[in-house]
Amino acid sequence: MLEKEKLKQKLQSEIRESIEHKLVLRREAPLIELVSFIAALWGSKLFTAMSPGSSLIFQLWGFNIHLHHFNYGFILLVLGLMLTFFKGPWIMRIQHLIFGLGLGLIVDEYWLLLTFDENASVYFGPESQFLSLMIGIVITLVYAGIALGIFFMSRREVKLWRQLCETVKSGEGYVSD
């Protein structure tokens, strides 16, 4: 009898952990990624619009190194991908937050990546700003559609997992030997 109770508690724990994983992965993660993507993309656009030409230039071994947004974005993407090797709901949330920030910074620099021309008149020119703005809007809308679609479509799945957990907890379900 004691063995069956231990098995029941282990099953409840596994179901609870699985529910939390599903909630984070299927519902929260896309929304976290969307919000961080929007914040990075539109925040960097606002920053470059308000202070054009201001950037970080480092001296390294006698060379001037100019780091653009996409450099930081690439670093954040790599960090986000490295976090996939770790387990836990908070690690997963942080991973998606970092990944969304990195993607937003890279998308902001799309024109620079397309032309590789750092000339201020081209980089801050109207065609650069327009193309970057249009790409940002399209990706934001597509991303929002996917994230919100997943969020609302997974409601039934989460409800089923919760029902399973309650069934096991109440003892109505049974564990066969």
Question: With a cut of 70, which residues of the chain have pLDDT below it?
Answer: 1, 19-26, 52-58, 111, 114-125, 161, 165, 168-169, 171-177
Sequence letter at residue 92: M
Contact (Cβ atoms closer than 8 angstroms) between residue 33 and residue 94: no
Separation CA 100–CA 169 (nearest Å) = 37
- Say what the pLDDT of residue 177 is: 47
- Say what the pLDDT of residue 9 is: 75
- Say what the pLDDT of residue 43 is: 87
Give me the residue label for tokens 């993507």.
37
Q: Where are the domains of the chain?
A: 20-170
Q: Parallel, antiparallel, or unpaired for β 56-60 and 63-67?
A: antiparallel
Give me the residue label for tokens 């409800």.
159
Q: State the sign of the Cα–Cα–Cα–Cα dihedral 57, 121, 116, 36.
A: positive
Angle at 160 between CA 33 and CA 5, to 5 degrees: 110
